[in-house]
Amino acid sequence: MTDLKDAGLKDAGNPAAHPDVRGGAVISAKDLDLTFQTNDGPVHALKGVSLDIEKGEFVSFIGPSGCGKTTFLRCMADLEQPTGGSITVNGVTAAEARAARAYGYVFQAAGLYPWRTIGGNISLPLEIMGYSRTEQRDRVARVLELVELAGFENKFPWQLSGGMQQRASIARALGFDADILLMDEPFGALDEIVRDHLNEQLLKLWSRTEKTIAFVTHSIPEAVYLSTKIVVMSPRPGRITDVIDSPLPKERPLDIRESPEFLEIAHRVREGLRAGHGDD
């Protein structure tokens, strides 16, 4: 296993991608509003959302469909434009942060290109960002090892299982070592056992790379198991109803999910979700 930092993967020439945050928030949203105009009138996807995410945190967003958790993540990624309020990523606007390749984004589907091998898929963003060929090769080898897919470089996506494909898509988001990882229900389409395994791997990867991770999920156990901070959201309008700081230690074996602390947090998340649903 390689440590990204030890491996010298940092590119120091990119200040916006690696800002001197020093205790400041990596992602900071203030009174964020986003209203979609539809034929049935305006839909308030986000209303008055304020949140700070500190460097190195693992933040989960949980809530029912339509609560705006994915929309919020897409605002961080500059894939949606807020209609009110402000959001900064690494101290600059989301658009500037995107231009500086400040984050890697993992979608719900792996979205690998069928005409590229696994290695070719992982080097795709590197090609786009103009890394040299040798650099691309080194980085592909390193991130493949990081997600335990070494040796699959020359396989095509259809030759891999769904879980392996999703790991490859995580590797692809890690290749250009952005400090922030935005993950939109990356394991939502996988079965429980594969999901447990990938959760465990993701935690290891997080502690090894010290990235800041924002993670959208439907699953309460997944959110509690992974996060240092759990953000509970509710719909109509999409808003934050509770922010829970997890007291769980950084080392988390899978059986921590049977511990009373774990169950207590899970209970609080469930209460939060139920309260948000009270008006239905």
Partner 1 sequence: MRSIIPVLTVVAVIMAIWYAAAVPMNAPWAYDVAKRADIELTFSDLVAATWSQDKPKLPAPHQVGVELWETTVQKNITSKRSLVYHAWITLSATLMGFGMGTVLGIMLAVGIVYNRVMDMSVMPWVIASQTIPILALAPMIIVVLNAVGISGLLPKAVISMYLSFFPVVVGMVKGLRSPEVMQLDQMHTWHASASQTFWKLRLPASMPYLFTSLKVAMAASLVGAIVGELPTGAISGLGARLLAGSYYGQTIQIWSALVMAAALAAVMVALIGLIQRIVLKRMGMAT
In the complex, which residues of this chain contact partner 1 (CB under 8 A)?
77-79, 98-99, 101, 103-105, 107-109, 111, 113-117, 124-125, 127-129, 156, 158
The distance of closest approach from Cβ of residue 175 to partner 1 in the complex, given in angstroms and rounded to an integer, is 10
The distance of closest approach from Cβ of residue 239 to partner 1 in the complex, given in angstroms and rounded to an integer, is 24
Nearer to partner 1 by C-beta: 91 or 119? 119
Nearest to 118 by CA among 171, 162, 173: 171
Nearer to partner 1 by C-beta: 82 or 125? 125
The distance of closest approach from Cβ of residue 102 to partner 1 in the complex, given in angstroms and rounded to an integer, is 10
- At position 190, the amino acid (one-letter code) is L
Annotate the chain with DSSP letters as a single string: ---TTTTT---TT-TTTS---TTSEEEEEEEEEEEEEETTEEEEEEEEEEEEEETT-EEEEE-STTSSHHHHHHHHTTSS--SEEEEEETTEEHHHHHHTT-EEEE-SS----TTS-HHHHHHHHHHHTT--HHHHHHHHHHHHHHTT-TT-TTS-GGGS-HHHHHHHHHHHHHTT--SEEEEESTTTTS-HHHHHHHHHHHHHHHHHHT-EEEEEES-HHHHHHH-SEEEEEETTTTEEEEEEE----S---GGGGGSHHHHHHHHHHHHHHHHHTTT-
Nearer to partner 1 by C-beta: 176 or 206? 176
The distance of closest approach from Cβ of residue 210 to partner 1 in the complex, given in angstroms and rounded to an integer, is 21
Nearer to partner 1 by C-beta: 68 or 125? 125
The distance of closest approach from Cβ of residue 176 to partner 1 in the complex, given in angstroms and rounded to an integer, is 8
The distance of closest approach from Cβ of residue 73 to partner 1 in the complex, given in angstroms and rounded to an integer, is 11
Nearer to partner 1 by C-beta: 78 or 177? 78
Nearer to partner 1 by C-beta: 128 or 243? 128
Nearer to partner 1 by C-beta: 128 or 150? 128
